[in-house]
Amino acid sequence: MTRAGTRRGTARQAQLFDQLVALFLAEGFARFTLDDIAARLHCSKSTLYALAESKDRLVRAATVHFFRGATERVEAELDGRSGAVDRIRGYLEAVGRQLEPASAQFMEDMAAAPAAREVYERNTRLAAERVRDLIAAGVATGELRDVHAAFVADVVAAVMVRIQQRHVAEATGLPDAQAYRELAALLTHGLTA
């Protein structure tokens, strides 16, 4: 295979993953068979098998693709911000914006599917660590009250896990994206002097 052919294959796979993610975000994935997915993406099942060897692995790969892109976009938004409060608020609000396209069905399917849930849990842990680092940096520069950054990050992580596990949506009716915006407001108001 030529280098150009390899690039086209990679570009086609990325395009299929983008389409797959858009489909899953809009409608969830639990009810779809591989035949359904192939029909909706206008490709063959063998094309899907080139992406992953089973539906479960395809769901996991699509979830990884979604979160990888979301992480890149969140970090890109954060690059344009300065000041601890603005960076923390911006980070959590950006996380919320990345979840806005996710339908309730997608979130429910992800919470119920072990492979997809594991990806979401890992990304939630990484996001909580990122918030902890942002808090610690703000405390170190004196922009934020002298709080125990690890404790505050642990509280944030607990809320993020509750969001991820659908408990916040069940208890409050808030979609995940809005819950992240509310968390950002609560956290940044609580950390400022």
Q: What is the pLDDT of residues 5-32, one digit of tens each?
A: 334 457 888 899 999 999 999 999 999 9
Residue whose entry in the numeric block shows the structure tokens 């990050």: 153
Whole-angstrom distance, CA of residue 156 vs CA of residue 141: 21
Residue 1's pLDDT band, with cuts at 50, 70 and 90, is very low
**Range scoring the smallest mean pLDDT among 6-15, 120-129, 152-161:** 6-15
Residues 21 and 66: their CA atoms lie apart, in Å, by 6
Domain boundaries, the chain: 3-191
CB 128 within 8 A of CB 138: no
The CA distances from residue 133 to 77, 150, 151, in Å, are: 17, 9, 12
The pLDDT value recorded for residue 9 is 54
Calpha distance 63→118 (Å, rounded): 10
Query: Across residues 132-139, what is the average pLDDT?
Result: 89
Which residue type occupies 133?
D
Cα separation, 31 vs 59, whole angstroms: 12
CB 19 within 8 A of CB 41: yes
Which of 4-13, 109-118, 134-143 shows the lowest per-residue confidence on average (mean pLDDT)? 4-13
Q: What's the whole-model pTM score?
A: 0.83
Query: What is the pLDDT confidence band of residue 160, given thresholds at 50, 70 and 90?
Result: confident
Residues 103-108: contacts with CB within 8 Å, 24+ apart? Answer: 103/25, 103/26, 103/27, 103/28, 104/169, 104/175, 105/27, 105/28, 105/30, 106/24, 106/25, 106/26, 106/27, 106/28, 106/29, 107/166, 107/169, 107/176, 108/28, 108/166
Q: What is the pLDDT of residue 107?
A: 87
Q: What is the arithmetic mean of pLDDT over 37-50?
A: 94
For domain 3-191, the CATH class is: mainly alpha
Q: What is the mean pLDDT of the chain?
A: 88
